[in-house]
Amino acid sequence: MKAEVFRKLLNLWGIFIPVTYYLVPVQRGRLTLLAVCLAIVVVDFLRLHVNSVKEGFILFFGSFLRRHEFSRLSGATYLLLGCLVTSLLYSSKLIVVAACAFIIVGDTFAAVLGQSFKSPRLFRRKTLLGSIGFLIGAVAVALVLSHLPDTLPLTTFIIGAVVATIFEALPLPWDDNFSVPIVSGFVMTFF
């Protein structure tokens, strides 16, 4: 259980996605996301289909993979794909930054709280404390983003954070790393 929390803390590496996207022009951000995404998808595909790559990957990174990731795309791949699609769907830079940061920071907080303490289960692997942790992380992102220059209203970010929390908790058939940024970005466009 502690190893899973540590693995989730390492997922904060993904914060480079929204930070980079914020710092560069939108087109450059999209191209950067596309390039990184293509590289990761190719590596993940090779990991799944070429035995020598699979063996090397497992040797060096196997402890970071969840059980189902040994035979399917990794959560990192889904995260990058979700952020890429989000960047292509929404013209507001801050909506893309928020939507991507919600899943990265929120998922980390969810793991730390949800796996460190006993809590009632909401759905299969989701716990009440995990969802509260996700919401805390996503609201923290909302508060930070609300202080940037030329930002969106805090209520827009808070609504996005709540929607991201709900969609992360639901037992939907697709990976939440992919769907959460897309759905939360979609909802924020209305506020």
Identify the band that residue 96 occupies on the pLDDT scale cut at 50, 70 and 90: very high
> Residue 1: which of 118, 137, 133 has the closest Cα?
118
Q: What's the whole-model pTM score?
A: 0.88
Annotated domain spans of the chain:
2-188
Task: Label residue 148 left, alpha or beta by phi (over 0 means left) and psi (-120 to 50 means alpha).
Answer: beta
Q: How many other CB atoms are there within 10 angstroms of residue 52's CB atom? A: 8
Identify the band that residue 5 occupies on the pLDDT scale cut at 50, 70 and 90: low
Q: What is the pLDDT of residue 150?
A: 93
Identify the band that residue 113 occupies on the pLDDT scale cut at 50, 70 and 90: confident
